[in-house]
Structure 1
């Protein structure tokens, strides 16, 4: 029987790529997003606990079960701590943390009753490595990563699997919409250019999604991407944290001193209310 897959933030970015990867394997995919892009998608505000419960209940009522749930919806907030406002923190926590909590609250009871299922949480490499100039994002993603790992221990009693995905930067619309609807920071001007200097080209979302979907049957606790960059970064954090902090300090220095190009300066006001397919790191 085809698996029933629910993807939050599935209209674009990583979420849309996950939907494509599952459909390529014959799975039935339900895409839920704050900004649906097609009539077959469901509107979902992950900040609303009752709205998430409604969507999960409707999927089960219509299709009988949920086999895989991708808690994927998210926004990207970046900038030095001195650039952050309370609204940067509040919006990020509401979407990227509470949104995951609400998803788990809505879906997990159904999976327990089924005695099987898989929750896949979209974390970030920034949740494993502390990233300056992304302090709120790094803190929230660290909470999400820890939540998924702790839930994994509890959930296995009920036959439910939990995996957290921790990518570096991924080529999604969120990279072009940092601090959506919020006061722009220096990251809105130079962030993408700095990402390319540090990481190289952001990871292709379809490559990430293909790897995630292909790997799920192994039930990994954590999926790091891309190889070998993410694995080397985590290894460095474990073995030489002082060195990784020094490297982070160098990157922070670049961020603070980079001057925006004329094109970057002209695009600083492009922020939107996009809350969709999950961005890295």
Structure 2
């Protein structure tokens, strides 16, 4: 068996699919678990079910002997101003993007502790470091994910387990085309992608992000920011001149609230 044994939640599409592709190109053994598998060798997993997550992790160890790298990746995107949010926006986001991440840690971390090694890679977001208006629930949940990962990193290292949180800006994935899945639609469903392109430029290519992550992991960084230099400059601005960042965020909210459907057609 060549390379690492890698488990990826939410690995059938988007960033997870790109991570799986990059690991396989490196010669790793990859197990993909997803709510909607797209191949026969992928495992079905609802990350909201802690028992199902534990069963998947234990199956990987039973079949492959260990888990070297776990990408705690599955998630959804929720966007819109607070008046547009419903209880379902909050509940679904917390259940998948926060509790789902915790369920992954609960399933894999004890196995890695027992084997004495492993790397947990949590998919956070730049929105978890920079407060993003018009994405208040998403920013709040990702902030919790970032903090959890950083705190777990300190605890886990005494057991030989590494923890890294990945914080990208917007990435070109199906999430951008399926904002607020199964929920009441918001203006973000009509104009969100156009606004992203105005603020960031083209969303980041997921394969480029996967390459950045795999290149960084041997160095065991606490946080991986992408893309360069946009993410690094944004975080530096948040630390040094938060007032300027809030001013710029306010302009983005005004743009969001006044953007017309014609802008969407031009996207």
Same fold (TM over 0.5): yes
Residue matched to 1:260:
261
The yes-or-no answer on 1:95 pairing with 2:96 is yes
Distance, in Å, in 2 between the alignment partners of 1:5 and 1:126 is: 26
Unpaired stretches in structure 1, ≥5 consecutive residues: 265-281
What are the within-5 Å matches in structure 2 for residues 1-281 of structure 1? 1-261=2-262
Q: Say if 2:76 and 2:97, in contact at 8 Å, map to a contact too.
A: yes
State the secondary structure of the residue aligned to 1:36.
coil
State the secondary structure of the residue aligned to 2:47.
coil
Unpaired stretches in structure 2, ≥5 consecutive residues: none
Q: How many Å apart are 1:128 and its aligned residue?
A: 0.2
State the secondary structure of the residue aligned to 2:246.
helix
Distance, in Å, in 2 between the alignment partners of 1:242 and 1:156 is: 36
Distance, in Å, in 1 between the alignment partners of 2:5 and 2:261 is: 45
Distance, in Å, in 2 between the alignment partners of 1:237 and 1:91 is: 28
State the secondary structure of the residue aligned to 2:261.
coil
State the secondary structure of the residue aligned to 1:261.
helix
Q: How many Å apart are 1:262 and its aligned residue?
A: 8.7
Task: List structure 1 runs of 4+ shifted beyond 6 angstroms.
Answer: none
Distance, in Å, in 2 between the alignment partners of 1:153 and 1:221 is: 10
Q: Please tell me the root mean square deviation across aligned C-alpha atoms, in Å.
A: 1.1
User: TM-score, structure 2 length as denominator?
Assistant: 0.98
Distance, in Å, in 2 between the alignment partners of 1:125 and 1:132 is: 13
Cα deviation 1:27-83 (Å, max 9, x = unaligned):
000000000000010000000010100100111111110000000000000000000
User: TM-score, structure 1 length as denominator?
Assistant: 0.93
Q: How many Å apart are 1:263 and its aligned residue?
A: 6.4
Distance, in Å, in 1 between the alignment partners of 2:228 and 2:214 is: 16
Query: How many residues are matched?
Result: 265
